[in-house]
């Protein structure tokens, strides 16, 4: 079986936290590749701050272009309607049954996954790898892992708590800094930063334009 990491994310925009987490999991769990999958229309995100799927996909491909173990898939951005992780993982399982999947997430997901759509189907398709960071204690994460294992009758290897470092970077912070004209150098790859500047993403003006076009293409109102 090929051991494949799945790094799903809104990637609005992708940053060093995502890249480093993927690289360290690849190395530690001896995975063959990591597949980055930018979300299509994530139902919990503010449409007004969301750059289009095509553009987030493009930024992600730029960010990973020098790593031969990293790939970017457009399957979620091509899907109509809201995208759910269980659907993506089931599609991958069906298309490439020879692969063993490791769904890589930060700490937060461990505490929210049971409110996602069909979490039991997610666990049927993959091992969940949750990064342990300083802001959530390992004790709390272990407790939650046990709770999920009991709730979904999981083998204790289905959830891996992955020790990671505290990298205080988030896409929200990056967008805020850009909108205030502050530097985000070194937080995101140089080529992604050039692309953001070229396109004028995350400035106040572009938020307004994005909200308008998201409304037209999805029929969803910005919230
Ligand atoms: P995101 O904000 O772009 O982040 C992607 C991942 O990177 C998250 O797991 C996040 O963990 C982690 N991360 C961000 N900053 C980090 C840092 N500094 N250090 C280490 N890790 C960091 O994407 P997202 O919106 O959370 O979505 C993640 C995945 O969950 C996507 O595949 C999405 O489709 C899926 N999801 C599915 C459902 C559903 O199926 N119903 C619902 C929600 C999300 P943290 O969240 O801990 O920051």
Report whether residue 108 contacts ligand 1, using a CB cutoff of 6 Å.
Answer: yes
DSSP-derived letter for residue 189 is -
Closest residue by Cα to residue 81 from 220, 221, 213, 222: 220
Report whether residue 189 contacts ligand 1, using a CB cutoff of 6 Å.
Answer: no
Report whether residue 154 contacts ligand 1, using a CB cutoff of 6 Å.
Answer: no
Ligand 1 mean position, distance from CA 109 (Å):
7
Nearest CA to ligand 1 atom 25: 10
pLDDT at 213: 52
DSSP-derived letter for residue 48 is G
Closest residue by Cα to residue 156 from 113, 127, 180, 195: 127
**CA distance linking residue 223 with residue 211, whole number of Å:** 9
Contact present, 154 and 125 (Cβ < 8 Å): no
Ligand 1 atom closest to the Cα of residue 167 is 18
**CA distance linking residue 94 with residue 85, whole number of Å:** 14
Nearest CA to ligand 1 atom 41: 116
pLDDT at 49: 77
Nearest CA to ligand 1 atom 12: 106
- Token pair recorded at residue 167: 């990298």
- Token pair recorded at residue 131: 């990064």
Ligand 1 mean position, distance from CA 39 (Å):
10
pTM: 0.91
**What is the dihedral angle through the alpha carbons of 46, 40, 162, 102, rounded to the nearest 10 degrees?**
160
pLDDT at 81: 82
pLDDT at 223: 22
Each of the 223 residues of the chain gets a pLDDT tens digit; together they read 899 999 999 999 999 999 999 999 999 999 999 999 999 876 666 666 789 999 999 999 999 999 999 999 999 999 988 889 999 999 999 999 999 999 999 999 999 999 999 999 999 999 999 999 877 789 999 999 999 999 999 999 999 999 999 898 999 999 999 999 999 999 999 999 999 999 999 986 554 555 555 454 444 332 2
């Amino acid at each position: 079986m090929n051991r494949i990491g799945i790094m799903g994310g809104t990637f609005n925009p992708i940053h060093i936290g995502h890249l480093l987490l993927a690289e360290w999991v690849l190395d530690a769990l001896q995975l063959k590749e990591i597949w980055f999958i930018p979300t299509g229309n994530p139902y919990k995100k503010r449409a007004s701050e969301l750059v289009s799927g095509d553009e987030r996909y493009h930024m992600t491909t730029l960010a990973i272009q020098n790593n031969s173990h990293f790939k970017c898939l457009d399957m979620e951005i091509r899907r109509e309607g809201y995208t759910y992780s269980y659907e993506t993982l089931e599609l991958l399982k069906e298309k490439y049954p020879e692969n063993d999947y490791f769904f890589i997430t930060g700490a937060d997901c461990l505490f929210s996954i049971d409110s996602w759509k069909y979490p039991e189907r997610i666990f049927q398709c993959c091992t969940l790898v949750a990064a342990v960071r300083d802001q959530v204690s390992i004790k709390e994460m272990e407790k939650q892992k046990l709770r999920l294992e009991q709730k979904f009758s999981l083998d204790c290897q289905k959830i891996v708590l992955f020790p990671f470092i505290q990298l205080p970077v988030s896409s929200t912070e990056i967008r805020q800094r850009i909108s205030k004209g502050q530097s985000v150098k070194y937080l995101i790859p140089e080529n992604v930063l050039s692309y953001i500047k070229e396109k004028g993403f995350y400035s106040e003006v572009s938020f307004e334009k994005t909200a308008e076009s998201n409304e037209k293409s999805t029929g969803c109102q910005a919230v």
